[in-house]
Amino acid sequence: MTAPLGKDLLGIEPLSPDQIQLILDTAEPFKEISERAIKKVPTLRGATIVNLFFEASTRTRVSFEFAEKRLSADTVNVAASGSSVSKGETLVDTARNLEAMRIDMVVIRHGASGAAHFLAHRIESNVINAGDGTHEHPTQGLLDLLTLRDHFKRLKGLKVCIVGDVLHSRVARSNIWGLQKMGAEVAVCGPRSLLPSSIKDFGVTVFDRVDEAIQWADALNVLRLQLERMQAGYIPSLREYNRVFGISRERLERARKDILVLHPGPMNRGVEIDSDVADGPFSVILDQVTNGVAIRMAVLYLLSGAKPELAEQAKGGQP
Amino acid sequence: MSGHERRMSDVGKRALILKGGRVVDPSQNKDEVADVAIIDGKIDAIARGLAEGAAEYEVIDCGGLVVSPGFIDVHCHLREPGREEVETIATGAAAAAAGGFTAVCAMPNTDPVTDNQAAVGFVARQAQRAAMARVYPIGAISLGQNGVALAEFGEMVGAGAVAVSDDGKPVVSAQLMRTALEYARTFNIPVADHCEEPTLAFGGAMNEGIVSMRLGLKGIPAEAEEIMAIRDMLLARLTGGHIHLCHMSTKGSVALIRWGKEQGINVTSEVCPHHLSLTEDAVGDYDTHAKMNPPLRTAADVEALRGAVKDGTIDVIATDHAPHHYDEKEREFADAPNGIVGLETALAVNVTWLVKSRVITLPMLVERMSCTPARIFHLPGGTLKKGAPADVTVFDPAADWKVEASQFRTKGRNTPYQGMTLTGRTHVTVVDGRVVYRLAH
């Protein structure tokens, strides 16, 4: 049987709208498993999965691990550090070692853009990109889509503005691709020094004023501002960033409409988002986290379809 | 034919006839089918029928092939001393010969840096030992290429250096570049300029634009090159020195050079085959064989560069041959080193993307790869005039061949053309009257 997503999930850019739809639809029944008293199905029994994290991550790693465990996979977490330029094993050697251990899937988080491609091209196992440099973070993009769809019951025609450091954000890229493929309108808003110079070529609207973005949007996806951006001189200060681009309750109230607020986490409260927004009625930030497990279960399930013996078990395990 | 008689008495001397090829020598506006006779390392005659009755000569049949002055590459990296596992002067010179180059200029970013007469002399001696293509050393502009203190141009020229450059790094200090241009005038050598504004290019891995945004790679804007190109042309105007702009890659640079030449500034420039044939799209899914500095740019840049080769705004095509160990390219894209090998694909890439696609004629390609490099770097060769050094390339401009990096003479395997079928292949390379390369059949 052919795998509906192919061998790997490296990004949202290569996915078709049908494939995205399939992942979102597949995630729906998986949500229910996490609500059960016994949160486990035998779908991936016998499958070995390595969570290979070259960058620190709590939320994404834990979310993947729960998704894997709830599907009964055997999982190993590897917290590697550094890249090939620092001392230690090169990524290609890591890949070969994993291959030699005959694992079924690798979930990789890495600081270098393209690291997931690098791995995927060199091993037979399925590779899931859990964030590579400033390239993509596809499962985050997918869980954002699922959260928006849950709330609005549609994605087509939805107006979503991504606010913040688009230049260095893999979440932004995955969101732009995913939203556009599903027929949503996408805008970005942030300091021009943190927007790619070619952003217009992506068919997105650019807002310089966050108030205009709020006025336009049905939902805001507020990006984390990496503190090192200030040290690198992209913005003068966090204080000014908060004053010009921070999402505050006053700003949202001025729009006089319901507006959904997403944030991929972890948040810098008081920088890109104020606490009363993060904890407020329009925030779906924790729904995103809940959906993250379901999306990752769906992705693991769909990728495992490449292996007939796993697919056989999956039938019995499908809720 | 008195010349013929004289040659008949030259038994025991080295004598060679390249028979019946299409002789293309733009230095004397020659494009005709003829024999080329070579005696003792010098061009002796070009005429029909020289091969008849010339029993003492070695005769190579060049029917259907082009016979031209040997190609000269003013920009390559041969890695010796310091990285002999990546390339040596011997393997680089052999690769050059296989690519139809009879002479190459070796950049000084070796380890240690080629920044003094002893180091320059070492490169020259290793080249003599290799006895393949000629290798002309380029000396560093600054000691250790650190951009601080001027290297001893005079002594390096005395030891065989033909130009100075800090290639691989920009000369950050405008004052140092000014001094280098002034000082180089004393010795009548060009200052070969790696144009890169380092703060703007910092951390960049590819061209800044839609592809870098898609791939999440830090981009290098065209302006990083153009700012230095214009700065150094202005310094050449100030000093009267000869600035040679290396590996130009952008449409904007072409416009600036055009302006500089109109102003009468003493500027020459080069472009690499890869910048004439490939765009940033070649990076694909993070292919490190498409990573070089300056990076592959856009289709509009490629178009402008081709136009500049045609109208002479860009004087020469140079390879920027940069071998790397295969391990080094087998890495995350941002961590992989810049550069590709080019000596053995340059002719074919140029024929395929420039001549076959009718951007320029074959004689013009010979001019850009042979005559003009010799002229602007004041090198012997670049002509088949009687008495000139017998540096000759014989190639088939119509032969299709598949690039197979494992067959290269260079130790490098890092080429974005791997597996491609290209047109144009070197058959014979003659240096100083000796056949240093012959295509195996």
Confidence of residue A87 (pLDDT cuts 50, 70, 90): low
Q: What is the pLDDT of residues A114-134, one digit of tens each?
A: 999 999 999 999 999 999 999
Q: At what angle do helices A17-33 and A138-152 cross, to 10 degrees?
A: 80
pLDDT reading at A305 higher than 50: yes
Q: Do the first three CATH levels of A17-137+292-317 and A138-288 match, i.e. the same topology? A: yes
Q: Which of B213, B327, B331 sits opposite A196 (nearest CB)?
A: B213
B211 to chain A nearest CA, in Å? Answer: 9
Instruction: Supply the pLDDT for residue A1.
Output: 43
- Considering the domain boundaries, does residue B381 fall inside one? no
* Cβ-defined contact of B216 to A135 (cutoff 8 Å): yes
**Cα A74 to Cα A214: distance, rounded to the nearest angstrom:** 44
Q: Is B282 on the interface with A (CB under 8 A)?
A: no
- What's CA A215's distance to the chain center, in Å? 26
* A160: enclosing H helix or E strand: strand A159-163
CA distances from A199 to A190, A193, B223, B390 (A): 12, 12, 18, 55
Residue B394 sits at φ, ψ, to 5 deg, of: -115, 125
Do B174 and B78 share a structural domain?
yes
Q: Same structural domain for residues B240 and B168?
A: yes
Within a domain: B421 = yes
Distance CA B314, CA B305 (A): 8
What is the tens place of the pLDDT at every residue in A258-287? 899 999 999 999 999 999 999 999 999 999
DSSP H/E element including A159: strand A159-163
Which H, E and C letters describe chain B, residue by residue? CHHHHHHHCCCCCCEEEEEEEEEEEHHHCEEEEEEEEEECCEEEEEECCCCCCCCCCEEEECCCCEEEECEEEEEECCCCCCCCCCCCHHHHHHHHHHCCEEEEEECCCCCCCCCCHHHHHHHHHHHHHHCCCEEEEEECCEHHHCCCCECCHHHHHHCCCCEEECCCCCCCCHHHHHHHHHHHHHHCCCEEECCCCHHHHCCCCEECCHHHHHHCCCEECHHHHHHHHHHHHHHHHHHCCCEEECCCCCHHHHHHHHHHHHCCCCEEEEECHHHHHCCHHHHCCCCHHHCCCCCCCCHHHHHHHHHHHHHCCCCEECCCECCCCHHHHCCCHHHCCCCCCCCCCHHHHHHHHHHCCCCCCHHHHHHHHHHHHHHHCCCCCCCCCCCCECCEEEEEEEEEEECCHHHCCCCCCCCCCCCCEEEEEEEEEEECCEEEEECCC
pLDDT band at A93 (very low <50, low <70, confident <90, very high): confident
Task: Establish whether this prediction's ipTM goes over 0.85.
Answer: yes
Mutate to test the interface with A, among B202, B208, B212, B215 (most CBs of A within 10 A): B215
Instruction: Show the low-confidence residues of chain B (pLDDT under 70).
Output: 1-13
pLDDT of amino acid B1: 39
pLDDT at A318 over 60: no
Whether B404 is in a domain gets the answer yes
CA atoms of A223 and A167, how far apart (whole Å)? 11
Beta bridge partners of A257: none
Tell me, what's the pLDDT at A96? Answer: 84
> What span, in angstroms and rounded, lies between the C-alpha atoms of B294 and B288?
14
Confidence of residue A314 (pLDDT cuts 50, 70, 90): very low
What's the domain count of chain B? 2
Last residue of a domain, one of B322, B347, B376: B376
Q: Count CB-CB contacts under 10 A for residue A220.
A: 28
Q: Which residues from chain B sit within 8 angstroms of residue A133, using beta carbons?
A: 216-217, 334
Q: Are residues B252 and B327 in the same domain?
A: yes
- Is pLDDT above 70 for A85? no
Q: Are residues B148 and B35 in the same domain?
A: no
Contact check, Cβ <8 Å, A83/B285: no
Q: Does A101 touch chain B (CB under 8 A)?
A: no
Tell me if residue B320 is catalytic: yes
Structure tokens, B46:
């070009």
Helix axes A285-304, A308-317, angle to 10 degrees: 130
Q: Which helix (H) or strand (E) holds A67?
A: helix A59-70
Q: What pLDDT, on the 0 to 100 scale, is given for residue A64? A: 98
pLDDT, tens digit (0-9, with 9 covering 90-100), for B271-285: 999 999 999 999 999
Q: What is the pLDDT of residue A2?
A: 60
pLDDT for A313 beyond 90 = no
Query: CA angle, B291 as apex, B423 and B273 as ends, to 5°?
Result: 30
Is B216 in contact with A115 (Cβ distance < 8 A)?
Answer: no
**Measured distance CA(A126)–CA(A123) in Å, rounded:** 8
In the block, tokens 């020659």 appear at B30
Regarding whether B215 and B116 lie in a shared domain, the answer is yes
Residues linked to residue B60 through DSSP beta bridges, in sequence order: B18
The CATH code of the domain that includes B422 is 2.30.40.10
Same domain, B41 and B179: no
d(CA B418, CA B328): 17
- The pLDDT, as a whole number, for residue B53 is 75
B284 and B406 housed in the same domain: no
B224 with B204: CB under 8 angstroms? yes
Chain A residues in contact with B209 (beta carbon < 8 A): 197-198
**Looking at residue A59, what is its pLDDT?**
93
Spatial separation of the C-alpha atoms in residues B210 and B199, rounded to whole Å: 21
Task: Report d(CA B430, CA B41) in Å as an integer.
Answer: 9
In angstroms, the CA A38 to CA A23 distance is 24
Which one is catalytic: B35, B73, B315, B320? B320
Distance, CA of B431 to CA of B131 (rounded, Å):
9
B296 and B148 in a common domain: yes
Per-residue confidence (pLDDT) for residue A309, from 0 to 100: 43
* Whether A13 contacts chain B with CB within 8 A: yes
> The domain spanning residue B151 has which CATH number?
3.20.20.140
Task: Tell me what pLDDT residue A92 has.
Answer: 84
Per-residue tokens: B264: 């009468």
Residue range A138-288, CATH number: 3.40.50.1370
Strands B421-431 and B392-402: antiparallel
| Banded model confidence at residue A86, pLDDT cuts 50, 70, 90 | low
Tens of pLDDT along A160-169? Answer: 999 999 999 9
Q: What's the rounded Cα separation, in Å, for the pair B188 and A23?
A: 68
pLDDT of residue A308: 38
| C-alpha distance from B333 to closest chain A C-alpha (Å) | 7
- Residues facing residue A175 across a β-bridge: none
A17-137+292-317 folds as Rossmann fold (3.40.50)
**pLDDT confidence of A27, banded at 50, 70, 90?**
very high
- What pLDDT is recorded for position A227? 81
Structural domain span for residue B56:
2-67+389-438
**Domain residue extents for chain A:** 17-137+292-317, 138-288
* Same domain (yes/no): B82, B119: yes
Assess whether B22 and B84 both reside in one domain: no
